[in-house]
Amino acid sequence: MKLHLITIKEFQAKFPDDATCLAHLFAQEFPHPKCDECGKVGQFSQNTKRACFSCSCGQSHIYPKAGTIFEKSSTSLHDWFYAIFLMSVSRNGVASRELQRHIGVTLKTAWRMQVKIKEMMQELPPMMSGEVEADETYVGGKRKGRRGRGAAGKTVVFGKLERSTKRVSAAIVPNVKAMTLLPHFTDNVAKGTKLITDELKSYRKIAKIIDMEHDTVNHGAGQYVKDTIHTNTIENFWGQLKRSLDGTHHVISPKYLHLYVSEFAFRYNHRLVPVPMFDLLLSRVSYMKAQVERRIGAYRWTV
């Protein structure tokens, strides 16, 4: 199935100014607006003096930006929509300085916009079943000393991938001890799932604790594929993540790494969705108020 990608010409034709963007947001957030004063439905028109829609009776006003990522922002709504568009059409993400150059705002504003858009891409971990690959990777700058597990100055990113749907879930973890990783299996992996990992002892302990079928490949001995047993699928995701982080963002603080991990997991999980990524993100601008603040706060490090 060929996916439709929105071009910049289509974006500019559909959203030429702030008024058009506000009208779209109003229609999306309030498909059947009802006046609390006169009780009429659908009698709202755009106010020319304020960023709101007013009922024909003049006694009721609806502010579409309330409860969205645009609330309390003095940045042009068109600039916000354009920032979302840029981040939706890029496969490798958009650096804050690049966003600054495109939109013409300060670096601080571009950074805040980027963070808000990334937060929209946070999702609760999906329940996985069937064959699930699990692996971890290490993110951080190059330095002398040990590489891989146990390397100093690295942030550990743990992930699971469901082979049947190619859905990935990733999280920042402090270490790869069995008790640290166990909740990521007990909460989000169904009974009867087959776990496929490398030779890390923690995975063997976890499989034994929750009575899960478990197959491994021994990377330490140079074994990467054994019939259908491998972790190549999730390692491909790690490779894409690291190439994007290195090529686009260069330097990332561990404090905000979870936002970048969740962004690329979101891109990966929705890459074949028939809805254009731009439309998908626009539909989630109020997701923060309804979902993230209420639920994802308890999953700060979880995609």
**What integer is the mean pLDDT of 124-130?**
91
**What integer is the mean pLDDT of 250-265?**
91
Q: Is the predicted pLDDT of residue 99 greater than 90, yes or no? A: yes
Is the CB of residue 212 less than 8 Å from the CB of residue 195? yes
The amino acid at residue 90 is S
Displacement of CA 138 from its chain's centroid (Å)? 19
For residue 263, how many other CB atoms are within 10 A of its CB? 22
146-201 pLDDT, tens digit per residue, is 665 656 678 999 999 999 999 999 999 999 999 999 999 998 999 899 999 998 99
Could you tell me the residue ranges of all domains in the chain?
A: 8-120, 131-272
The amino acid at residue 163 is R
Q: Residue 88 corresponds to which tokens in the numbers above?
A: 């939706």
Please give the pLDDT value at position 286.
Answer: 85
Please give the pLDDT value at position 169.
Answer: 95
Q: Is the predicted pLDDT of residue 224 greater than 90, yes or no? A: no
- Taking the CA of residue 180 as centre, how many other CA atoms within 13 Å lie in the half-sphere pointing to its CB? 15
**Backbone torsion region of residue 149, taken as left when φ is above 0, otherwise alpha when ψ lies between -120 and 50, otherwise beta:** beta
**What average pLDDT does the chain have?**
87
Between the two ends of the chain, the Cα-to-Cα distance in Å is 27
Looking at domain 131-272, which CATH architecture does it have? 2-Layer Sandwich (3.30)
